[in-house]
Chain A
Amino acid sequence: MSRALITSGPLDPTASLPAVDMSTSIGSFETPAPVFTASGCAAAGKELDQFFDITLLGGVVTKSVMMAARSGRATPRMAETPSGMLNSIGLQGPGIDAFIEHDVAWLRQRGARIVVSIAGGSVDEYAKLASKLRPVEGISAIEVNISCPNVEDRGHVFACDPTAASNVIQAVRRNSDIKTPIIAKLSPDVTDIVSIASAVERAGADALAVINTTLGMVIDLDTLRPALGGITGGLSGPAIRPIAVRCVWQIHQALPHLPILGMGGIRNGEDALQFILAGASAVSVGTVTFHDPSAPLRVQQELEVALAERGFATLREAIGYGHRGPDLPELTEEDE
């Protein structure tokens, strides 16, 4: 595909700084770059590839797909909120077969690293989705969306119950290739996110995606009714960033060996660095893509600068650095 001509933005901010080794890993998935798209904010990569080369990212996390084609919820599906937005899309999608045939095929042919996000209404549906993906070539990891608050049946928010969440992860693990890392995506709408993280790890999760949107609501003052067709929606964007950083911090503190794909309101490289320092091995850029369609690659370039400016030679040495005692890397004078 031909690419949009981008005539603005930080073009080579790394010019005068040493290169940083940006490689990282999410379980057995090794990637040369640490920034991913976020599920639901990048479709299946094709549209964003018009704005930047998606193969330069750590990977493309596709919109959560279910077994059957799904129309999603009635409009309005979106409401802008301070530094964020609410959405109630309702997992509109083509269904797993069409998704594998068209979207995965396109991404593979394009040479992108692919993380497929799956969502189900029952443990059985997750198991079937994993079985469908098992023989498919070129999938670097599976993200299991157990925390989407937008599904039609509110009883099916697996992420809020350690047992339900574990059952899903176990089913996906059993039906997936053992070499494919399973990433459990957690909801922040729980009392103790560490207990959910521990439970899904015991069930076989190789890594965690932290966090999904948090449930919110807006009332329209013209209609005097909920602004969204789905009444409640998932809040995302910079408004939720401190919640996300806190969740990454708590989980990394309790389970420092478990890789985390951190996300929630990342707008620039310094935001991304907060997640890395809190314990994320990689990050996803989501809602901000709606504000700047080239944001994922821009954030990746800015993250490299942010690391170099603080004296890090590799991304890996910055992972969880915020937890490790009072000593700071050597700072140049102007940073102090």
Chain B
Amino acid sequence: MPPLQLTGQVLDVRRAGMYTVLSLTAPGLAERTRPGHFLNIGIGGEESALLLRRAFAIYQVQSRGVYGGSVDIVIGPHGKGTKWLVDRRRHDNLSIVGPLGRPFTLPKNPANCILVGGGYGTAPLFMLADQLRERGCRVDVIAGAATEEKLFGTLEIKRAASTLTVTTDDGSMGTRGRVTDVLEDVIERSAADVIYACGPMGMLSAVAAIAAARGVYVQTSVEEAMACGIGVCMTCVLPVIGEDGITRMVRSCVDGPVFRGDQVRWADVGTIPADALGAPTGGQ
């Protein structure tokens, strides 16, 4: 189904640790949304000097209710655009385009799944956990961040998971260290078939490496700077190996944001690998 372009009204703006959860009316969005989809929001109104829409993973959707459908997103403290967004108040209108991108692929048969979230990269994993459990999958969650306050939704996600393992770099909550320090144990303990990961690129790269070494199928939702979010600007590209073995610079907005972890050339992100299709040749 094609994405919607609609005006959503702010229903609620609430703090969640260092994050902000924004709820918006979004009739029709829930029916089209699958876990891993994202949406983008226009910043600053019609005459805004900030032209580029901001992209957010879809955290929750409600298809019914008094508002005829709504959506929740999680906003991290970043630049001017997101500052403007978290300053919105109930009844303010926002321009929404979504759902966008390729979502996570769910296993056809019950499987043992590990969900790995870094920081507020956990946001799209709640819906995913629910849908996996509905299919009879075992769900184990690993949530990691630099500090306790940078974790998002750990209490909530615990309800949808067989086990929750928390890591923080400073040891302020859970195991001191990175998600990858506990991943192998969780793979072992849960006899994992599939890993789903969302978070910073460094984390995704490390998760993909462990999954490859252990022979576990892995899907990663990447984080790349985008301008349009709909596939026309060619800003958000990264090197991905296709089914034909050829590396292409593909758009994370429409070809992703979910990619198979073994197909992303993690070490080459931010570069044009010399063997990528159409890479500059000597002298060009």
Contact = CB atoms under 8 A, between A and B. Distances in A.
B2 A87 contact: no
Given A92-B249, A95-B278, A7 B6 contact: yes
Interface in A68-125: 68-78, 80, 82-85, 87, 89, 92-93, 95, 121
A51, A71, A77 — most chain B CB neighbours (10 Å): A71
A113 to B, nearest CB: 18
A4 B270 contact: no
Contact of B233 (A3, A153, A290, A294): A290
Contacts, number: 142
A73 B225 CA distance: 15
B175 interface: no
Nearest to B5: A6
Contacts of A11: none
B42 interface: yes
A83 B5 contact: no
Contacts of A288: 51
A328 interface: no
B231 A43 contact: yes
A2 interface: yes
B27 interface: yes
B212 interface: no
A8 B237 contact: no
B99 to A, nearest CB: 11
B28 to A, nearest CB: 6
Given A82-B49, A290-B228, A291-B51, A50 B238 contact: no
Contacts of B279: 71
B33 to A, nearest CB: 14
B267 interface: no
A5 interface: yes
Contacts of B284: 121, 152-153
Contacts of A85: 51-52, 227
A294 B27 CA distance: 19
Given A71-B279, A237-B51, A294-B5, 6 more contacts: A4-B97, A5-B4, A7-B7, A78-B225, A289-B232, A293-B97
Closest 7 CB pairs of A and B: A69-B278, A8-B7, A71-B278, A50-B2, A70-B278, A290-B228, A78-B235
